[in-house]
Amino acid sequence: MTARRRGTQVEALPRRLSYRRPKGEQLQEILEGVIAALQPGALLPSERLLAERYGVARATVTQAVEGLASRGLVYRVHGSGTFVAEPKFRQPLTLTSFTEDMRARGMTPGSVVRSQAVLPASEVVARHLALVPGSPVVHLERVRTADGEPMALERTHLPAQRLPGLETADLSDASLYELLERDWGVRVAEADQWASVVRLTADEAALLQVDPDQPALLFQRLTRDPGGAPIEYVRSLYRGDRYEVHTRLERLGG
């Protein structure tokens, strides 16, 4: 971004902050408006310029920017400044595979298969899949990509006896749900899903190409067929800077 463009950005900002509200909170709102008008990768006004314009401590500006970064709206590059981040994807509330979800967004889904083997079920996996511990399960570990960019790390477990041969199927660029229905006649119908925020390990962060301090969203999902039988237990780590969960709430009665 040119110096002239940065100057235009600063001139477009409100002249002063209200004394009635916390200054850091107002700065975040102002910067959210700036972000909404810019393209991903655009450079924001420097913290020094913002501090001078609003007559606040540099620490106040830094705190406001860090709040935006924690929400994935911006990212910081040491020595270069703060930039507008790519928009986040909302986790769909319908039961779709990653492949189907990315296709619906007009993106090209992909997978890097890191593990695909039959292993004995641990107690946790066996409990979710209604199996005896030690029963054979197909374990899949895949880095899921969208337009070539890593988005999620999936660790999936499926009952091997019901899905013979799945451990050798080509899953590099395939929808698992489409494959299950086409080759095994198994259709997914419903799922329970739990979401939480977790810290990535160094290896997980490297696979997702994010900073080790970047929080991630952990989705645990138990998927069932139309008869209610468990088909899949999956733990998926999604990049916290690219995903958010949106839920519509309605008040009953009253």
Question: Does 26 lie in the same domain as 97?
Answer: no
Q: How confident is the model at residue 108 (pLDDT cuts 50, 70, 90)?
A: confident
Task: With H, G, I as helix, E, B as strand and everything else as coil, classify residue 154.
Answer: strand
The larger pLDDT score, comparing residue 99 to residue 152, is at 152
Q: How many domains does the chain have?
A: 2
What's the pLDDT tens digit per position in 155-198? 999 999 999 999 999 987 778 888 999 999 999 999 888 888 88
CA distance 170 to 237: 22
Question: Does 189 lie in the same domain as 99?
Answer: yes
Question: Does 170 lie in the same domain as 68?
Answer: no
Task: With H, G, I as helix, E, B as strand and everything else as coil, classify residue 142.
Answer: strand
For residue 196, being part of any structural domain is answered with yes
Instruction: Provide φ and ψ at 135, rounded to 5°.
Output: -60, 150
Which residue, of 30, 55, 84, is where some domain finishes? 84
Question: Does 65 lie in the same domain as 161?
Answer: no
What's the pLDDT tens digit per position in 218-232? 989 999 999 999 999
- Please tell me the predicted confidence (pLDDT) of residue 34: 78
CATH code (residue 207): 3.40.1410.10
Taking residues 60-75, what's their average pLDDT? 79
Question: Does 76 lie in the same domain as 9?
Answer: yes
CA distance 179 to 203: 29
Q: What percentage of residues in the chain have a pLDDT greater than 90?
A: 32
Question: Does 198 lie in the same domain as 97?
Answer: yes
- Please tell me the predicted confidence (pLDDT) of residue 181: 93
Question: Does 174 lie in the same domain as 53?
Answer: no
Question: Does 153 lie in the same domain as 129?
Answer: yes
The larger pLDDT score, comparing residue 197 to residue 105, is at 197
Tokens representing 204 are 């997980």
CATH code (residue 40): 1.10.10.10
**Residue bearing tokens 């237990």:** 233
In degrees, rounded to 5, the angle at the alpha carbon of residue 211 between the alpha carbons of residues 148 and 222 is 65
For residue 47, being part of any structural domain is answered with yes
The larger pLDDT score, comparing residue 19 to residue 151, is at 151
For residue 249, being part of any structural domain is answered with no
Instruction: Give me the residues paired with residue 219 across strands.
Output: 195, 236
- Please tell me the predicted confidence (pLDDT) of residue 222: 92
Question: Does 181 lie in the same domain as 147?
Answer: yes
Domain that holds residue 59: 3-84
For residue 20, being part of any structural domain is answered with yes
CA distance 194 to 246: 13
Could you tell me what percentage of the chain is helix, strand and coil, using 3-state DSSP and rounding each to the nearest 5? 30, 30, 40
Closest CA to 204 of 194, 193, 195, 215: 215
Question: Does 141 lie in the same domain as 23?
Answer: no
